[in-house]
Amino acid sequence: MQADTYIPRRLDDSWKIGFWDIDVAAPVLFMFFVGYLTSHKGAFALCVAGGIALSRWIARLKVDKHPAFATHWLYWHLPTSPASSMQATPPSHVRRMLG
């Protein structure tokens, strides 16, 4: 009556695009799109190079930190909007809480 049960180890992994986390790959994809919209080869190369540099900076910033570090950083540093506001947490401008 003993059955081998599979226990998933990676239930809460962050989203990935290929081998890269979504927050590292997003700047490259966004700058690729912006460079495509310019319809100029030099500007396209400059935008893609800037996106790669930005994603490498984000990857180095995330080393030895929580997997959702980028999400937490965006929450505390960007202004609150209806799209990004959370109901269960206080607004990001409230730095000190009592209790």
* Residue 88 resides in a domain: no
Q: Residue-wise pLDDT tens for the chain (99 aa)?
A: 567 777 767 777 777 788 888 888 999 999 999 999 999 999 999 999 999 999 999 889 888 888 788 888 877 777 766 665 666 666 667 667 665
Q: Domain range holding 30?
A: 16-77
* Residue 92 resides in a domain: no
* Residue 21 resides in a domain: yes
Residue 64 vs residues 4, 29, 67, 69: alpha-carbon distances, Å = 35, 24, 9, 10
Looking at the structure of the chain, the number of domains it has is 1
The model carries a pTM of 0.65
* Residue 26 resides in a domain: yes
* Residue 49 resides in a domain: yes
* Residue 89 resides in a domain: no
